[in-house]
Amino acid sequence: MLSAAEPERKFTDMFSPLSVPAEIIHDSAIVVSLICLAIFLVVVFMLCYVIFKFPSKGPEDDKKEPPQIYGSSQIELAWTVIPILITVVLILVTVRTIIDIQDREMPEDTVHVRIIGHQFWWEIHYLKPDGVDANGKTKWVTDFVTANELHIPVSSRENPRPTALQLESADVIHSYWVPQLNGKTDLIPNHTNRMWLEPLATGTYYGNCAEYCGTQHANMLIRVMVQTQEEFDKWAANQRKKPVDSTDPIAVAGHEVFYKYSCVSCHRIDGSPEPLAIFGPDLTHFASRRWLGSGVALNNTENLLSWMRDPHVLKPGVLMPNMQLSETEVEQVTAFLQTLK
């Protein structure tokens, strides 16, 4: 079941922000860019002036050297003090913006999501509160697990509904970057980072892993589906359910193949909230996702068949090995996976 998150926002221009933190960054970026542009124009003017005003007029002219000036304290003081003043302005803008974004308190009904980076996909846990710990802080436990496509509710200025991301990594460093929603933050093993999103418009937002993480860094793509609150709730309710077992004989055979080979060693399909280890994306509601392989191809029958034959065709260097399935098995597993709505 594909839930609509319209429109597609493929053009990820950081100067068209659609989220509160991205807007704050955008505003300071504009100020800084304009100051830099002004400095650029002034210095270019000075450079062009000396270049066009003082060229040598030929060998005759060269016989006499120009007046030899060794420096001027006043002028040098001027072009030391003015840059210092500009720098002070830039520092004020910067520090203010850093604190505004980094140290902001999240409101009560924030959506809490934990994202774990893997070579080359995203593991996503939606969190729910579970009492308080010894320090009086809310404890968060996994509500349900999904992968690669982050669904979050749209926020508004009247009713802020931000999403707080808790970023971790299972292997190497990755970085979560959706330019229209916020700047990037790294996902680092043994080190939990935080960032927040507060989208003001619905849509499917595009982004990329922004820290080189290995062979398929390029196709560790990010998709964020920003939905209305109702759509989001509907989607979340479906994710919490166990998938319904299909009666289609081909799919049933595919289910058997899935368990017969070692698919289950890496991929999890059931409703249990705390799996022991996840090496590959959770497939519980695989058919509800729009893309395969962390965004490398659309999740349709043709691409899925190709992926089952050999994942390295669509995503060379992906950690999933070629499972050497027979053509029948490929079709059976594909049919099975497509029942996981």
Partner 1 sequence: MAHGTTTAPSEDFVITPVRPGEEKGTWSSWIQDLFFTVDHKKLGLMYIAVGLFFFVIAGLMAAAIRIQLAIPNNDFLHPDVYNRFFTMHGTAMVFLVGMPIIFGFANYLVPIMIGARDMAFPRMNAFGFWITFFSGILLYMSYFTAPSLYNAGSAPDVGWFAYSPLTAKAFSTGHSTDYWTLSILMGGIGSVATSINIIVTTICMRCKGMTLGRMPLFVWTWLVVAFLVVIAIPPLSACQIMLTLDRYLGATFFDTQAGGSAILWQHFFWIFGHPEVYILILPGFAIMNEVIPVFSRKPIFGYPVMVGATVMIAFISLGVWAHHMFTVGMTSLGNSFFAISTMLVAVPTGIKLFNWIGTMYGGKIRFELPMMFSIGFLFQFLIAGLTGVMLAVAPFDWQLHDSYFVVAHFHYVLIGGLLYAIFAGIYHWYPKAFGRLMDKKLGLWHFWLFTIGFHLTFFPQHIAGFWGMPRRIYTYEAGRGWEEMNLISSVGVVFQAIGILLFVVNLLYSLKKGKVAGDDPWDAWTLEWATTSPPADYNFEKEPVVRSRRPLWDLKHPKDPDWKYE
What is the nearest approach in angstroms of partner 1 to the Cβ of residue 317? 5
Burial readout 287-297 (b: 16 or more C-beta within 10 A, e: otherwise): bbbbbbbbbbb
Q: Is 319 in the site for partner 1 (CB under 8 A)?
A: no
283 or 318, CB closer to partner 1? 318
Per the CB < 8 A criterion, the answer to whether 135 and 210 are in contact is: no
> Based on CB atoms, which residue is closest to partner 1, 84 or 244?
84
Neighbours of 331 (CB within 10 A): 18
Q: Which is nearer to partner 1, 173 or 252 (CB)?
A: 173
* Binding-residue total with partner 1 (CB under 8 A): 91
CB of 157 to partner 1, least distance (A): 20
Cβ–Cβ under 8 Å, residues 229 and 153: yes
| Residue 219 binds partner 1 (CB under 8 A) | yes
- Map the footprint of partner 1 across residues 264-303, applying CB under 8 A: 295
Write out the H or E segment, with its range, that includes residue 144.
strand 138-147
Q: Are 28 and 93 in contact (CB under 8 A)?
A: yes
CA distances from 186 to 148, 168, 176, 263, 265 (A): 16, 8, 6, 30, 28
* Binding string, residues 107-146; x marks residues near partner 1 by CB under 8 A: ------------x---------------------------
CB of 28 to partner 1, least distance (A): 6
Which of 2, 4, 91, 141 lies at the binding interface for partner 1 (CB under 8 A)?
Answer: 91
Which of 3, 142, 166, 193 is in the footprint of partner 1 by CB under 8 A?
A: 193
> Phi then psi for 152, rounded to 5 degrees?
-140, 155
Q: Does 237 bind partner 1 (CB under 8 A)?
A: no
Dist CA 312 CA 108 (whole Å): 44
Distance (Å, rounded) from C-alpha 95 to C-alpha 120? 34
99 lines the binding site for partner 1 (CB under 8 A): yes
Please report whether residue 229 would count as binding partner 1 according to CB under 8 A: no
Beta-carbon contacts of residue 218 (< 8 Å; ≥ 6 apart): 208
The residue from 18, 115, 164, 213 that contacts partner 1 (CB under 8 A) is 213
Q: How many CB atoms lie within 10 A of CB 198?
A: 26
- Least separation in angstroms between residue 18's CB and partner 1 is 13
- For the bound state, the minimum distance from the C-beta of residue 33 to partner 1, rounded and expressed in Å, comes to 6
105 lies in the site for partner 1, by CB under 8 A: no
Range in contact with partner 1 (rule: CB under 8 A) among 21-29, 137-145, 244-252, 263-271: 21-29
Helices 327-337 and 249-260, interaxial angle, to 10°? Answer: 110
Which x/- pattern over 40-79 shows residues binding partner 1 (rule: CB under 8 A)?
x--xx-xx--xx--xxxx---xx--xxxxxxxx--xx--x
- The minimum distance between CB 299 and partner 1, in angstroms, equals 15
When binding is defined by CB under 8 A, the residue of 14, 266, 287, 305 that contacts partner 1 is: 14
State the Cα–Cα distance between residues 272 and 293, nearest whole angstrom: 23
Token representation of residue 21: 């933190």
**Considering beta carbons, is residue 25 or 335 the nearer one to partner 1?**
25
Q: How far is the CB of 311 from partner 1 (least distance, A)?
A: 14
Q: Any idea what the Cα angle at residue 204 is, between residues 27 and 24, rounded to 5°?
A: 10
**End-to-end CA separation in angstroms for the chain:** 6
